[in-house]
Amino acid sequence: MPRRLSPVLGALILLSCLLSAPVAADGDLWDELLPSGEYYTLRGPAGQVLLETGRRIYLEDQYLSADNRLYEVVEVDDEARIARAELMEEVELEVTPWQELRRELGLTVIEAADPDQEKGAIALYHTHNAESYVPTDGTDSIYGKGGIHQVGAAFAEALRERGVTVLYSEALHLPHDRGAYRRSRETVLELMAKEPDAIFDVHRDAAPSTAYAVQLNDQWITSIQFVVGRQNQNLGVNRKYAESLKKLADDLYPGLVKGIFYGRGNYNQDLSPLSLLLEVGAHTNSRDAAERGVSLFAEVVDHYFYGPSAEAAERGRAGAARRSILGLLVFVTAAGAVFFVVNAGGFSAALERLKGALRLRDRR
């Protein structure tokens, strides 16, 4: 085969593999994942409906229900949009202070809060800017800033009323296609540069109104579902974080958090361990109900990060940070030294190599 044809052939083979992968049900090239009115149903062992969602469900996805039962998806029928899950365990939720979660990753080593600042910052953004609520916005998608932006604004306002600094990015990540998460990654990086305590990606789901409508304090609100990506190295910490928030929400406002969906995907949660995707209601709910629901959730967030449990964990943090900085320096130096010696093939060779490394070599 002529050499010039090999890259072309390779690209064609790759393209044909990709095109044979599952595609959106609707043939329209620009449309959403599922057409309005279509959604997946996740059923439990007894056939009970656990979850109705516009998110595509894959094998090995997991779902923590409102009553804290963890299910794993064992079968998916993409044509009928029905998935079946088996019960894995009943989870006893507990609240893990967020400073402890960051210490698990060594992050308190490199960040130290201003001791005079009472509350930190919470960052918000929307990967899918166009998402809207049909009863209030008249459509499920507005190509630009959709109704979800007003839900985000309500979330931000509720946090600010509690004295929390909010970093709210309304940057657009359109077109409304699969590349939105690649584009929103840049927004996450910009927000992270400002060192927020947590980041939320605010979405809405696509499901029947009954899936999210709930009455709390004699008011109709929408419940909130967390989505945690399984394809990132922070999954363990993200799981504890999501469970902590749910536990606190269950105590403060039972029914506010309907569950935690552990789905295939990254959702840019590899960039920060305290990063969560929120589904605030569905396109079939009213936006006003979603705003009320997310405003209650703001209280949960404030309580988790800056409330009594957070204050207790704050004590001794400064000392722990100093010890951790020294510990990390020692660890990195030791690990680097071991790698260097092994790579060089012995101590003598390593010493010679170190001398050589100090003289910059020309590789051309």
Partner 1 sequence: MFPLAFSVTLLTLLTVLLFLGLGQRVLDRMRLTDAEAVIILLVMIGGHFLPTVSLTARIALNLGGLVPLGVGAYLLFTTSGVEKTRAAGVTLVTALLIFLTDKLLPLQPGLLDPVFGGGIFAGLAATFWGRSRRSAFIGGLVGVLLVDLASVVQLWLQGVQEQITLGSGGLFSSMVLSAFLAVLITEVIGEAREALHQGGEEDA
Task: Please identify, using beta-carbon distances, which residue of 33 and 252 lies nearer to partner 1.
Answer: 33
> Least distance (Å) from partner 1 to the CB of residue 282?
15
> Least distance (Å) from partner 1 to the CB of residue 362?
6
Task: Please identify, using beta-carbon distances, which residue of 77 and 111 lies nearer to partner 1.
Answer: 111
Token pair 């899950």 in the structure block, residue:
85
Q: Say how far apart CA 127 and CA 102 lie, in whole Å.
A: 25
> Least distance (Å) from partner 1 to the CB of residue 360?
5
Nearest alpha-carbon partner for 78 in 96, 97, 95, 58:
58
> Least distance (Å) from partner 1 to the CB of residue 182?
4
Contacts of 150 (CB under 8 A, 6+ apart): 287, 291
Task: Please identify, using beta-carbon distances, which residue of 254 and 345 lies nearer to partner 1.
Answer: 345
Token pair 């590899």 in the structure block, residue:
270
Task: Please identify, using beta-carbon distances, which residue of 128 and 287 lies nearer to partner 1.
Answer: 128
Burial of 346 (0-12, 13-18, 19+ CB in 10 A): exposed
- Asked if residues 150 and 132 have their Cβ atoms less than 8 Å apart, the reply is no
- Asked if residues 253 and 292 have their Cβ atoms less than 8 Å apart, the reply is no
Query: What totals of helices (H) and strands (E) does the chain contain, helices first?
Result: 10, 13
> Least distance (Å) from partner 1 to the CB of residue 74?
17
What's the helix, strand, coil split of the chain in %, to 5? 40, 20, 40
> Least distance (Å) from partner 1 to the CB of residue 136?
21
Q: Strands across the sheet with 165-168, in order?
A: 49-53, 40-43, 82-90, 69-77, 62-64, 257-263, 224-229, 275-282, 198-205, 121-125, 165-168
Q: Say how far apart CA 298 and CA 280 lie, in whole Å.
A: 12
Q: Say how far apart CA 340 and CA 338 lie, in whole Å.
A: 5
Task: Please identify, using beta-carbon distances, which residue of 12 and 74 lies nearer to partner 1.
Answer: 12
> Least distance (Å) from partner 1 to the CB of residue 145?
7
Task: Please identify, using beta-carbon distances, which residue of 186 and 311 lies nearer to partner 1.
Answer: 186
Task: Please identify, using beta-carbon distances, which residue of 253 and 261 lies nearer to partner 1.
Answer: 261
Q: Give Cα separations from 51 to 148, 197, 228, 243 (angstroms).
A: 21, 30, 15, 18
Task: Please identify, using beta-carbon distances, which residue of 160 and 264 lies nearer to partner 1.
Answer: 264
> Least distance (Å) from partner 1 to the CB of residue 241?
16
Pairing of strands 275-282, 198-205: parallel
